[in-house]
Structures are given as structure tokens and as C-alpha cells.
A and B are shown apart, each in its own frame.
Chain A
Amino acid sequence: MSLIYPREGQKAHPLNTSPDYGSTLKRAPSQPLILLPHTLSETTGPVFGHVAVSDIDSDLTRRHAGEPLGERIIVTGRVLDEDGRPVPHALIEIWQANSAGRYVHVRDQHPAPLDPNFTGAGRAVTDAEGRYRFVTIKPGAYPWRNHHNAWRPAHIHFSLFGPSFLSRVITQMYFPGDPLFRFDPIFQSITDERARNRLISRFDIDTTEPEWALAYQFDIVLRGREATPTEEPHEH
């Protein structure tokens, strides 16, 4: 499969110079980026289709002796390219806070309880149709020190490897209707509203399992499209 990587779509991304997010001030480069032609170094990338990922890796609620506290949820979706074609064998790594808004990371100082039954890290590889599925608990919102009374909306961090170095992306998935969206400079760093809203998962009644867990759907579109785009939609 030969892909090309148009640059227009990149406008969806936030700029590193986003001063409302204080940590950018001393970390964003001040010099303009230098336009790089796409060579073999960029159009190739690590292959993880062979990585052994088990059911346990994608079920964050079954890693410990007991069940974690919080609202059990299912997160599913598809990984697609810019033409809407599935990206199979894409590696997804996720991490998140527990239901109280606390990370197990040693530097998280938020005075909310750790949950001995929840670590909050998972992995999955997409199937032939680009699908993935995680079971986890809904993360809590948590405070941070960016500005007075700063809180992050509940989110799950997603890290993805697609077909090449150019499709590599790390992002965050949010939950619908969060009242913190308008106050969060990280979410708001994406200036295009439509692009921003693509990070909000969709409540999914069809995947919700009765008597067990609510489901959210989050499709992810990675860089890359067919070298010769076809006019007709593919029939599978």
C-alpha cells in the first residue's frame, strides 16, 4: 500500500505556541519549522502488527485482584486514514486517571485516592477493519496549576502508530457534554471548532451492554491517503 501525506489536513492540529497553556511558553520553538520533503525516513515507520496484545491488555478493569471503583465503560472505534479507509494493525496505547481523577504516576500530587485495583494503562491493535475496543472506568476530572481554579475535563490519552512516521499522533479523547471544555486551554488550543469536536467521543447506546457498562465511540483519523484517490467509494 502506497500512501501520500498531504499537508492541508495538518491545519487541524493545535500550534505549540498556545500561550493560554502555560507550559508552552518556554517549550514551544521560537524559530519557524523547516519544511521537510517526505523521504523514506518519514513515509516508513515501525510495524507493530506482531506485538502480542491480549484481551487483558485492552481491559483495564481486570489487571488486579479486585475491580476498580468507578463507572465501567466500553470505548470502541475505528482507526481510519484520510480517505476513510480502515487502518489495520495500528497500535493504540492509552492511559488515564482513575475515577477519582488521580494518576498512578509518581509525580501526580492531586490529593485524591489511588485505587489499588486500577493502574490505567492499556494497549490494543486494530483488526482488519481498523476496529479497537477497550474496557475501562470513566476517568475523573482533575485539577492542575495552569491558572486559578484550573481543571482538566475527563479524558483518556491515546497514542497511535499508523502506517508511517508521518501518521504518528498522540491525542486525548473527551466525553460528551463536559462543562469544563470551555475553560480548558489544552482542548481549546485546537482553534477549529469542528476539529476540536472530533476529540469528543459519542455516547453509543448500541454498544452499551445492558446491566454492565455504558459505551462510547471514538473514531480516529490518521494522516495518509491513497496515492491515486478513487472517485467511487469502495465496497467491502
Chain B
Amino acid sequence: MNTEKPDGLTPSQTIGPFFAYALTPRAYGGPELASEQVAGEGVAGERIRIEGTVFDGDGVIVGDAMIETWQADAEGRFNAVGNAGFTGFGRAETTAEGAFFIETIRPGALPGPNGSTQAPHLTVSVFARGLLIRLATRIYFDDEPGNAQDPVLALVPAERRSTLIARRGTDGVFRFDIRLQGEGETVFFDV
């Protein structure tokens, strides 16, 4: 079998409004590939809960989005052998009120470009009707001193950096809203 160089990438298309019974099928009784629960019992690390709401350019909630998260474990490792119960991958559908949550462990710091250290973060994809290609963003944590040296946050204009930082409430829950457009628009990355 010869490998011929393909014509190019398969282009993206919108997830559309009707993905739930396949991708987030809990309400339909279908098997879930992944869910809001990223770390099983016994996985080492600080348990955290992240909650947020997705808004459009009019401040209207987005009730048909899918959020996927990808992260390192507490030691800053990806796909570590032997870390049973931890895939690092989370998937959530927004509710009719535009809300989502992820329950996981706090990731560790990890290596960045040119010998730098990246502060703990989750890598996020946002899919929704009206998005022809997923939006990529990151969730950082407001209580991490390493944010000040993070090489990716450093690329973001200072006045927009806060859109990437989840804030811990008095209840211990981290709050991370996603604003697709307009005032307070979340920073999205060209990956």
C-alpha cells in the first residue's frame, strides 16, 4: 500500500443542534464516551469543580453547546501509565440554561516552550450550532502563583487575561463563564 499525499485536511463543519443523543447521551440512555467526571475515585490530586455558563454576543445563554476539556494529571503528566481512573478528558453539554460543570482534579504545572513552565490549566474546545469550527481556549485558576510566569497568558493582552482565569468562590467552586462574542469576550486561540 502506497501512501499518497492527500489533497488536504478534511474541513470542519458545525456540530449543529442535534448532537446530544450521540455525544452526550445520558438523557437518552445511551453510552457515554466521557462525561463531566474526569477523575475516578482514588485518583491522586485535589478535587475541584468548575462551573460556568456560555453566552452569545447578546448575552443570551447558549443552551446547545458541548464543552470538552483536556488536562494533565496532578503531576503535570498526560496519559500517564498506571494512573487508572484518569483519562484527562471531560465532556459536558450545556443545559437549557447554558450551564456546564466539570469535576476533576487540579492539574499540575507542566513544561512549556523554551524551558518555561506552564501554570496549571485545562485545554478547552467549545462546539455549538453556529460555530463552524471549534473554539479553543484554556482554563487557568485564580489561586495559582505560576500564572504570572505562564508563557501562554503572557501572549494575551493584559486586559483580556482574566477571561482565561477561573475564580474560586467561597463555596470552593471555580467559576468559568464563556462569552463567545462581545463585551468580556473569552480569549480564543488559533491552534
- A residues lining the B interface (CB < 8 Å): 7, 9-10, 12-16, 18, 21-31, 33-42, 44-48, 51, 80, 82-85, 91, 93-95, 97, 103-108, 119-123, 129, 157, 159, 165-166, 168-172, 186-187, 189-190, 194-196, 198-199, 219-223, 233-236
A35 B152 Cβ-Cβ under 8 A: no
Chain B contact-residue range equals 35 or more
B18 A13 Cβ-Cβ under 8 A: no
* Chain A residues in 8 Å Cβ range of B6: 80, 82, 84, 219, 221
Residue in contact with A186 in the complex, picked from B10, B22, B118, B132, CB distance below 8 Å: B132
B5 A157 Cβ-Cβ under 8 A: no
B181 A29 Cβ-Cβ under 8 A: yes
Q: What residue of chain A has the Cβ atom nearest to residue B66's Cβ?
A: A170
Residue in contact with B33 in the complex, picked from A26, A37, A48, A222, CB distance below 8 Å: A48
Cα separation A45 to B28 with both chains bound (whole Å): 27
B89 A39 Cβ-Cβ under 8 A: no
Residue in contact with B21 in the complex, picked from A27, A121, A171, A235, CB distance below 8 Å: A121
B132 A121 Cβ-Cβ under 8 A: no
Q: What residue of chain B has the Cβ atom nearest to residue A39's Cβ?
A: B112
B3 A30 Cβ-Cβ under 8 A: no
Residue in contact with A46 in the complex, picked from B56, B60, B70, B138, CB distance below 8 Å: B70
* Chain A residues in 8 Å Cβ range of B9: 9-10, 12-13, 82, 195, 221-223
* Chain B residues in 8 Å Cβ range of A121: 21-22, 25, 30
Cα separation A190 to B14 with both chains bound (whole Å): 11
**B45 interfacial contact with A, CB 8 Å:** no
Task: Tell me the dominant secondary structure on chain A's binding face.
Answer: loop
Residue in contact with B8 in the complex, picked from A21, A36, A198, CB distance below 8 Å: A198
B21 A28 Cβ-Cβ under 8 A: no
**B72 interfacial contact with A, CB 8 Å:** yes
> Shortest Cβ distance from B185 into chain A, in angstroms?
5
Q: A45 with B70: in contact, given A28-B180, A29-B181, A171-B12 (CB under 8 Å)?
A: yes
Cα separation A25 to B56 with both chains bound (whole Å): 9
A26 B133 Cβ-Cβ under 8 A: no
B58 A36 Cβ-Cβ under 8 A: no
Q: What residue of chain B has the Cβ atom nearest to residue A102's Cβ?
A: B18
Q: What residue of chain A has the Cβ atom nearest to residue B12's Cβ?
A: A13
Residue in contact with B187 in the complex, picked from A31, A107, A223, CB distance below 8 Å: A31
> Shortest Cβ distance from A68 into chain B, in angstroms?
15
B129 A36 Cβ-Cβ under 8 A: no
